[in-house]
Structure 1
Amino acid sequence: HGTLDEVSVVLEALESRRRSVGRLQHGSTWLMDREGMEQATRTRVAEHKAKRIRHHFGQETVIDLCCGIGSDTAALARHGSVIYVDRDPLKVELTRFNLSASHSDAAAHHPLVADAERLPLPPLPIHVDPARRQGARRVYEYSEMIPGPEVIEGLIQHHGSVALKCGPGVDIENLPSGEVEWIQDGSDLVEATLWTGSWAGSTRRTATLVDRNLQISGEFQHLQQSSLKEPAYLHEPCSVIERSGLVGHVQPEVAAGEWHPGLGWLAGQENRTSPWFRTFAVVAQFGWHEKKVVDWFRQKGCAPKAIKTRGVKEDPAQLRRRFSGDAGDWILALLRRGQRIEACVLEEQTHTESSK
């Protein structure tokens, strides 16, 4: 038996463990609170970053600042020494426990309770995971992180090689100099990491599909445009390549042009696929008129499997209610092209290595 507060803590920990399945390799044995679980780096992403960090510094001691429940610490600890730091003593204790639960020798690493503003440490390479929540609200701007820009830029000046974890929606123009790597795991765009010092590459932008071990770097490029009115295929860029501004670098893989300036979707005549895109065959195309499209699906005896929109005001959730019947295999996309809204019925194509 316990108090209501104690029961609440236990229930929160159990729920956090449940939600960590598929995200954290050892989540079923870790101790965590809801806040720590929500901010924790996915194991696959943490290992990706740790590999890059250790490539430059081997087994040398690195610092994991704002360690939270220790997902980045655990990845770094597999191949060298870590000083893990948080201003919250509970988070430091959680990380200590979770290192042991991850089969790391916790005694080989060094806990520290300290504020980022007064970090009593030499200029070792450092990974920083600032708080990106204010109460229940997520924050996306660099200026709203805790610790804030002044402290972070002081760390960069003092430590040189810094990996700063940001939300994927961060505005690259507001970040300090260095390389910004957007990372996607499966279908989820999960973070952007600013790399400085010896960790930074020669370009400003990098997109990584971490589960596919694919990466591309470069500078922003404007997209070549398409003049096609009725394309045979449409290509939707995956989140990471679009957010990083690097679609232009992989555009030749699908031999297609942007269907409308700023739309992002590419239009082409060839069945070319790429891991950086979802490719769809155009089954039917209409000028958007709700009744006409609803009637088309009714005649086919099904509803759309999904509804996508780009550059239009229509709400997919509300549109879905207009259709009757079970979902079929087709996707409905409403896309801006000039002054028109095109309604395209799409069939997704499967990417294989031979289709490149």
Structure 2
Amino acid sequence: MPDRRLDVWEKLADPEAVPLLEAAAIAVADGITPASVMRLRKSFPGTSVAEAIELASARARADAKFADPSAMMLDRAGLEQATSETVAEWKAARFGDAPVLDLCCGIGGDAMALARRGPCTVVDRDPIRAWMAGLNAGAVVRTEAVEVTEIDHALVHLDPARRDESSGRRSWRIEDLVPNLDSIRGILARAEGGAVKLGPGLPRPTPELHACQSLSIIAEHGRLVQAVVWTGRLAREEPCEAVDLPSGRTLSGSPGGFTAAGELDGALLTFHPSIERLELGPVALEAAMGGDAALAGEPAVGLGLVTVPLEVIDSVSSKWFRAVRILEVLPPRPDAVASALRTRFGDEIGEVVVRTRAAAIDVDAWSREFRRIPRNEKGPRVEVLGLRLGRKTVAVIAEPIGLQPSSMP
């Protein structure tokens, strides 16, 4: 039985719908109101005004993910779940020019990049999603469940559902993926290589999906956006890979930990989000510092920060971590910290940046307190970090060391 919803969307792709979509885009830009909806319905009787507004709204938001979304067919839910153009292009490069099945394709964020580098077939049980992906990517379309589709391409890309679209709720449990884990394993076993798109918060260690697999954690503009489990011939020898986009930098290795630190002094290092998530801090330090990496220590288990002696970090530069010089460690009281800042810097202080881990302090409240301190635009930039060290909370006054990586939050 034909899907009537698909008929509505197909009409929006017709050139005759251009005036309606242009008017809907203006209404969205001005802010949708009951009156603007009524005007659209009066000006375009018998048309799909609700879907036109949905499409115009999604296109307006899509600039953050796609270079030119003006001709794309998409809705807001599909856009939210779609891979950005930058991430999709990075992933697609690993597939070479081999034919790819894009399973659970959604609106085609990944399919567009895959289709630009070689043959691509999109598969989705939702006829609207499959149609959107086919149109956006110029790909062959199959409208069917991925569990029953024939794995007749050498490589597969799979984006299991992590959200119940009827309720809009996201599921964080890997056991709730659709298709389920057993189906995913079966699909991957029938392909020469595969890539499974998952959320960056997936459980560690990575669930076994294939006998040969590796994991990439991708950060885009300093924010974790995606985990990819590569299998078969697409997997790498190293088990884990941190990825920074749009720079394209990667760092591979095996997860590891640090010894416990003594006093909170010297330099404090914060790792790139993908490095921290994969526990590749020792790998990043070894690459930047060589044998001196063994001097690093963790002030508290699970904090994600390490300290190193100042003498070994002053001349070190890395895109995978940022360093600050610890100036003073104080009780976690904003008035005490403000007083220490005035004493140390007087009227010469520049910007004060407040950071925390695990909500050890209220960043907004502390920032408001420090705005009262007189500033000098040419003064030094100072950081105040609220940290929980076991059962104790402390405030650290610090200043940046060297150039700070632009991809770090």
* Same fold per superposition (TM over 0.5): yes
Aligned ranges for residues 6-85 of structure 1 at < 5 Å?
Answer: 6-54=48-96, 58=97, 60-85=98-123
Q: Which moved more, 1:295-304 or 1:79-88?
A: 295-304
Match of 1:281 in 2: 325
Contact 1:123 1:159 in 2 (8 A): yes
For 2:350 and 2:189, the matched residues in 1 are separated by 57
1:186 aligns with 2:186: no
What SS is found at the alignment partner of 1:183? strand
Q: Which 10-residue stretch deviates more, 300-309 or 33-42?
A: 300-309
Q: Which amino acid aligns with 2:319?
A: P
Q: 1:251 aligns with which of 285, 288, 295?
A: 285
Cα separation, 2, equivalents of 1:246 and 1:287: 31
The structure 2 residue matched to 1:113, chosen from 130, 143, 168, is 143
SS at match of 2:395: strand
Letter in 2 for 1:243: R
CA distance in 2, matches of 1:305, 1:311: 20
Q: Is the 8 A contact 2:99 2:153 kept in 1?
A: no
Shift of 1:330: 2.6
Inter-partner Cα distance in structure 2 for 1:42 and 1:69: 11
In 2, the alpha carbon distance for the partners of 1:70 and 1:86 equals: 10
Q: How high is the TM-score relative to the length of structure 2?
A: 0.75
Residue 176 (str. 1) matches residue 223 (str. 2): no
The higher radius of gyration belongs to 2
Residue identity (%)? 28
1:52: Cα distance to partner? 0.5
Match of 1:143 in 2: 175
CA shift digits 1:203-227 (9 cap, x unpaired): 3211111322221222211224433
Q: CA RMSD in A?
A: 2.8
Encode CA deviations 1:252-305: one digit per residue, 9 max, x unaligned.
Answer: 326543233332212221323311112223344323333311334567578974
Structure 2 residue 273 is matched with structure 1 residue 239:
yes
| 1:198 Cα deviation after fit | 0.8
In structure 2, the partner of 1:212 is: 247
Alpha-carbon distance between aligned partners in 1 of 2:374 and 2:134, rounded to the nearest angstrom: 48
SS of equivalent residue, structure 1 residue 64: strand
TM-score, scaled to structure 1: 0.85
Between 1:336-345 and 1:141-150, the stretch displaced more is 336-345
Instruction: Give the equivalent residue in structure 1 for 2:334.
Output: 290
Aligned to 2:32: none
SS of equivalent residue, structure 2 residue 64: coil
Q: Which runs of 5+ in 1 are unaligned?
A: 100-105
Alignment: residue pair count: 340
Quote the Cα distance in structure 2 between the aligned partners of 1:344 and 1:158. 54
The answer for the alignment partner of 2:300 in structure 1 is 260
Query: Structure 1 residues 338, 35: CA separation in 2 closer, same or farther (over 3 Å shift)?
Result: closer
